Amino acid sequence: MSAPVEYDVVVVGGGPAGCSAAVFLAREGLDVAVFDRGRSSIARCAHLGNYLGFPGGVDVETFSDLVHDHVERAGGALVDDLVESVERRSAGETAGFRVTPQEGEPVTARRVVAATRYGGEYLRGLDDDGAMFAVHEHGGESRETFDREYADRDGTTPVDGLYVASPSGADRQVATAAGRGARVGKRVVADARVDDGWWPAAAEGVDWLRREAELDGEW
């Protein structure tokens, strides 16, 4: 009998993209763990002045606390640890991944969402065809970095069960990074529904709505 997984989804990175994805996942009832060591790139900012809902701006520490609280309120777990590697599970085990952190014990998950702004070295074990990383020339030297074009617009990748919310072209602003995370989270939710027997059109089209009877004529 194959061994079960501990989480439906592991999110690597607790910044705006990772936490946004995690909220969508946890609210759907999926078991989600967010690995975060507090190294989100927004920590380099002193103040966020253009995030919707904060007309006076918000300091980074307060914003980070709020998004982490949101993850936990939605039902997700926050793990204060740095992920060192993500690998496919061994033959004979259920499909999915083995996630090894720096300090804690390895965990298993059906799906993984990569949401770290800098570097993707922890994904090296999944790069079978060499397409995950690209070589760039900088200052006369060659540098190999994660290829931002590796994932599709909705975060899906050639590796079944692996999604990328960051790094991506949406990383420049917190608002767009959170939007990218939401898009990836919705994609993972839809895929999980399909695995549970939903037909694709329904899996992608369900969301929270008010009952029509509650809407007045002006609305």
Helix, strand, coil fractions of the chain, as percent rounded to 5: 30, 25, 45
Helix, coil or strand: residue 97 = strand
| Tens digit of each residue's pLDDT (9 = 90 or more) over 77-125 | 999 999 999 999 976 666 799 999 999 999 999 999 999 987 789 999 9
Q: How confident is the model at residue 1 (pLDDT cuts 50, 70, 90)?
A: very low
- Percentage of residues in the chain with pLDDT exceeding 90? 65
Cα 41–175–209 angle (5° rounding)?
Answer: 135
Cα 100–67–114 angle (5° rounding)?
Answer: 35
pLDDT surpasses 90 at 170: no
Distance of CA 17 to the CA centre of its chain: 6
Q: How confident is the model at residue 43 (pLDDT cuts 50, 70, 90)?
A: confident
Question: Residue ranges of the alpha helices (H) in 101-140?
Answer: none
Angle separating helix axes 16-27 and 174-195, nearest 10 degrees: 30
pLDDT surpasses 80 at 20: yes
| CA quadruple 26, 30, 36, 42: dihedral sign | negative
Cα 62–66–67 angle (5° rounding)?
Answer: 120
Distance of CA 190 to the CA centre of its chain: 14
Helix, coil or strand: residue 2 = coil
CA atoms within 13 A on the CB side of 169: 6
Which region among 19-33, 83-97, 185-199 has the lowest average model confidence (pLDDT)?
A: 83-97
State residue 32's pLDDT score: 98
Helix, coil or strand: residue 150 = coil
* Global pTM value: 0.89
Query: Is there a contact between 125 and 90 (Cβ–Cβ < 8 Å)?
Result: no
Query: Over the chain, what is the mean pLDDT?
Result: 88
